[in-house]
Amino acid sequence: MSIHIVALGNEGDTFHQDSRPSGLIRTYLGRSPLVSGDESSLLLNAASTVARPVFTEYQASAFGNVKLVVHDCPVWDIFDSDWYTSRNLIGGADIIVIKYNVNDKFSFHEVKDNYIPVIKRALNSVPVIIAAVGTRQNEELPCTCPLCTSDRGSCVSTTEGIQLAKELGATYLELHSLDDFYIGKYFGGVLEYFMIQALNQKTSEKMKKRKISNSFHGIRPPQLEQPEKMPVLKAEASHYNSDLNNLLFCCQCVDVVFYNPDLKEVIEAHKIVLCAVSHVFMLLFNVKSPTDIQDSSIIRTTQDLFAINRDTAFPGASQESSGNPPLRVIVKDALFCSCLSDILRFIYSGAFQWEELEEDIRKKLKDSGDVSNVIEKVKCILKTPGKINCLRNCKTYQARKPLWFYNTSLKFFLNKPMLADVVFEIQGATVPAHRAILVARCEVMAAMFNGNYMESKSVLIPVYGVSKETFLSFLEYLYTDSCCPAGIFQAMCLLICAEMYQVSRLQHICELFIITQLQSMPSRELASMNLDIVDLLKKAKFHHSDCLSTWLLHFIATNYLIFSQKPEFQDLSVEERSFVEKHRWPSNMYLKQLAEYRKYIHSRKCRCLVM
């Protein structure tokens, strides 16, 4: 591919033309980093009557492999002496450069009046650059009196150059000197922009010609259609907060009962939830000692608000279960005790709805001082040891999500014996847990611990069919509402465990994890991986994971060329095989057309125009 530039005009001083070492074009070709190669002067019109050559041809390489041909015509006589050559030069040009010296106004007007109209007729949507070279010697304004209609002895003004550029639709440049800035960055930048535009246009025209040429041949290249869109899996919304909130009202697995100062029962609760939120309750239920907490305000709050009653003569003690009776806690503060049901509902909801709590307390306590006193005690209960109470502004916590307590604090009790009331036996190992959390988060566990089953009365419960690591991941989800499987195999095992205990949201999380992992694998890794995708499909179907099984079928069909070469591909059922063949990508028809096209291209009768 080549670019043809025609430069017209003389940018030198009329009285010192022979003494100038080089002109605009030659200086640019010698200094531009994008142009390489030797330049040669070739006289295409050897007229003996002309002292200087009519034009000079420069040949070089631009942009690495683009041939650059420049015809520099310093004199305009070529339009008078050889119209045919000049017309061919302009007609074959990709870019035209018109240059003049700003101190030669006589030549400028002569060119403008005699040769510019000729050039306008010969132009055919070719970009034109007008370069005004030199520094004006006299910058005084020309005379405007009626007698002085022309001042040809002065410089060519900027206005006159811009007017000429408007007539030709050209780009106007003023080059005060032929140094690196004006030549390389200013003139060179504009010229190279038009060179790139010319290359783009020629490339586009060449591609159009190729398409037209290919359309005349017998076979056109086949068009590869896009693969079918994969099924979209929608994640199930979390109900973690509502599960724990409902635990307060269902009265299942209760292990603590609060009483007012008159020893009347106020409300039942669960140690594990209260300890997950407050160090005051950790201290009260002996989960932590005063030495562990090392905060006098928390110790003082615990002593001022609560007292544990273990008296066997306590009213109603004889009716309590002889196995593991709930712990009795006396609330010393009468005002705080009157609002305790609202406070516990606030804690079980995630301890973030401060405005609702304050409104509920105001309904029971008319005095604003009493309301403030109770709110401050709630803040003390939620205080972090060793830190200044940061819950000064309740409204700032209104926007926080309920999970900011439970998803971090309950993890503290995961696989820990503290407050544990059930132990799972798995593969010879034991895993302690808390019935309240299991009942709140899993309906199967709730039925198991509260129905007429052996597990409802047993502390040690064996678990079969899952590994210890998988069951711990399952418990981690129940405690924290999140999980992070180690890989696709672990995610599939966790999905099976979730299906066994009917935890649908965990199933969806595992499905999304498996899909994300498979989608992120490049084709080379899919071809070399040891994971049996067909076995994964069968497990998903067996465990009623319809979304994952449908997605896996589409995934096998979309990557047909990879999975069809694996031995497990033969394990697909007839129905699955039929689905994969129907939705395979690329289609069988496309592969046949591609084979025919390649055969046609490489035959002796046809030569590929693209390759």
The tens digit of pLDDT for each residue in 118-169 reads 888 777 788 999 988 888 876 555 555 554 544 545 788 889 989 998 988 8
Q: Is the pLDDT of residue 86 over 80?
A: no
Window from 58-62, 82-86, 181-185, 547-551 with minimum mean pLDDT: 82-86
Would you say residue 395 lies in a domain? no
Mean pLDDT of 497-520: 94
Q: Which residues pair with 462 in a beta bridge?
A: 425
Same domain, 346 and 465: no
pLDDT of residue 398: 44
pLDDT of residue 423: 96
The tens digit of pLDDT for each residue in 254-288 reads 999 999 999 999 999 999 999 998 999 999 999 99
How far, in Å, CA of 422 to CA of 465, rounded?
Answer: 19
Same domain, 88 and 162: yes
How far, in Å, CA of 103 to CA of 250, rounded?
Answer: 100
> Residue for token digits 């509402």?
481
Same domain, 170 and 293: no
CATH number for the domain that contains residue 166:
3.40.50.300
The tens digit of pLDDT for each residue in 61-80 reads 887 788 888 888 888 877 77
pLDDT of residue 53: 56
Same domain, 280 and 428: no
Same domain, 26 and 168: yes
Confidence of residue 432 (pLDDT cuts 50, 70, 90): very high
Q: Is the pLDDT of residue 401 over 50?
A: no
pLDDT of residue 36: 64
Q: Is the pLDDT of residue 201 over 80?
A: yes
Could you give the C-alpha distances from 371 to 338, 364, 580, in angstroms and in order? 11, 9, 68
> Apex CA 431: angle with CA 428 and CA 433, to 5°?
155
Which one of 449, 475, 492 terminates a domain?
492
Same domain, 96 and 162: yes
Window from 194-208, 523-537, 572-586 with minimum mean pLDDT: 194-208
CATH number for the domain that contains residue 305:
3.30.710
Same domain, 418 and 553: no
Confidence of residue 429 (pLDDT cuts 50, 70, 90): very high
Whether 196 and 34 have beta carbons less than 8 Å apart is answered as no
Would you say residue 509 lies in a domain? no
Same domain, 30 and 166: yes
Name the strand (E) or helix (H) holding 273: helix 271-277
Same domain, 274 and 413: no
Same domain, 475 and 338: no
pLDDT of residue 139: 56
| pLDDT above 70 coverage of the chain, percent | 84
For 437, the domain range is 408-492
> Apex CA 96: angle with CA 91 and CA 99, to 5°?
135
pTM (2 d.p.): 0.61
Most confident of 15-24, 219-228, 564-573: 564-573
pLDDT of residue 15: 42
Would you say residue 73 lies in a domain? yes
Which one of 195, 210, 225 terminates a domain?
210
As a whole number, the mean pLDDT across the chain is 82
Same domain, 422 and 556: no
Q: Is the pLDDT of residue 607 over 80?
A: no
Confidence of residue 56 (pLDDT cuts 50, 70, 90): confident
Would you say residue 226 lies in a domain? no
* Residue 499 vs residue 396, higher pLDDT: 499
Confidence of residue 397 (pLDDT cuts 50, 70, 90): very low
Would you say residue 149 lies in a domain? no
Window from 20-24, 62-66, 234-238, 416-420 with minimum mean pLDDT: 20-24
CATH number for the domain that contains residue 416:
3.30.710.10
* Residue 1 vs residue 577, higher pLDDT: 577
How far, in Å, CA of 315 to CA of 305, rounded?
Answer: 21
Would you say residue 77 lies in a domain? yes
How many domains, in total, are found in the chain? 4
Mean pLDDT of 93-112: 87
Would you say residue 191 lies in a domain? yes
Same domain, 23 and 161: yes
**Element counts in the chain: helices (H) and strands (E):** 29, 14
Could you give the C-alpha distances from 88 to 33, 71, 73, 123, 124, in angstroms and in order? 30, 12, 13, 11, 12
Would you say residue 242 lies in a domain? no
Query: 268 by DSSP, 3-state: which?
Result: strand
